[in-house]
Structure 1
């Protein structure tokens, strides 16, 4: 059976839980207590030397990084809807996976981590970056229902959680109506599951 080493407050874990649910795949959730340091134990580091969640196990396949896990799930279980086969379409989706791992992670996700887990960073600069990210998304979504394609793909699921959790980062979505509408569309997908803060 598929296993997901999971932390309920992680937006990166939520991306994976969301696609697993949408694809109606059975899996075992293995909670990892980050506050107790379980992600730094020797046993966990054998699964992921980076000491981060999520970690995904499907038989002999062990993957870390939520974007990589989304690609695997989409290709193995989701058909072409979630990750098309055509080269340009794949490349455009990969741009958004990179956007999630860089721009969103270093702005919205980082600011949320600061407030929830008492991290250390320049919060004013980080929130400023978050608003720049939201502006990019809102502009793109002005004429698009989804980030790429005429239907949702893993690009949407990769970018969604930390945008949807913007309130936890003390970042307001009020001035980004297209982002709000996009979040609402994702929440109406069949199989959608929520998490604390969404």
Structure 2
């Protein structure tokens, strides 16, 4: 795939996974380039020329280089898969609310709880789990009688939120109290082109 975009990624990064998942489901030709985070490759040249912040994911699309997972999702959708952005302005605004949630409550909640368990992050586990439960409660209410987060139709909102919520049990955050959320996860996992992020706990029991 000579004209495929390059996704610089790390398999256990939820930020990177959301980009890979969207590209796969949207049918966007791409190649995954593994960045060896444990070896510090992301903090050295030549990776720092792509993203001076030293973070994955980064995409290369011809001469264009884009980093930050949400920025990448918007770029890819605008250029290659506009159907994943609602045409109705109010629905698009709602989508952006969930994109913001992915960088806020999701990142500081289920994302941080997972980082504590898997990567020994120094974050506060009590705060992380409390934030996770608040966010999951909001998602549970949003998904009453809805298959997807915005206007009952798949959008970038679902890809932005999915990866860390699906792996919440890795941070000892149970999904058992949230049947609508679990149904929504199943809906996404049934999409054509779905790719899973590797689990880091045997069984990934919810």
Normalising by structure 2, we get a TM-score of 0.92
- What is the distance in 2 between the residues matched to 1:58 and 1:76? 11
Q: 1:128 aligns to what?
A: 130
**Matching of residue 141 in structure 1 with residue 171 in structure 2:** no
- What is the distance in 2 between the residues matched to 1:41 and 1:58? 21
Q: 1:177 aligns to what?
A: 179
Higher helix proportion, which one?
Answer: 1
Q: 1:64 aligns to what?
A: 67
Q: Once the 2 structures are TM-superposed, how far is the Cα of residue 39 of structure 1 from its aligned partner? A: 0.7
- Structure 2: gaps of 5 or more residues: none
- What is the distance in 1 between the residues matched to 2:161 and 2:17? 11
Cα deviation 1:47-68 (Å, max 9, x = unaligned): 1111110001101111111111
Q: Which runs of 4+ in 1 moved over 6 A?
A: none
Q: 1:17 aligns to what?
A: 20
- Structure 1: gaps of 5 or more residues: none
Root mean square deviation, CA, Å: 1.2
- What is the distance in 1 between the residues matched to 2:87 and 2:175? 34
- What is the distance in 2 between the residues matched to 1:25 and 1:140? 29
Normalising by structure 1, we get a TM-score of 0.95
Cα deviation 1:90-120 (Å, max 9, x = unaligned): 2111111000011100111111011111111
- What is the distance in 2 between the residues matched to 1:25 and 1:122? 38
**Matching of residue 45 in structure 1 with residue 48 in structure 2:** yes
Q: 2:34 aligns to what?
A: 31
- What is the distance in 2 between the residues matched to 1:142 and 1:89? 17
- What is the distance in 2 between the residues matched to 1:119 and 1:84? 36
Q: Report how many aligned residue pairs link the two structures.
A: 197
**Matching of residue 90 in structure 1 with residue 87 in structure 2:** no
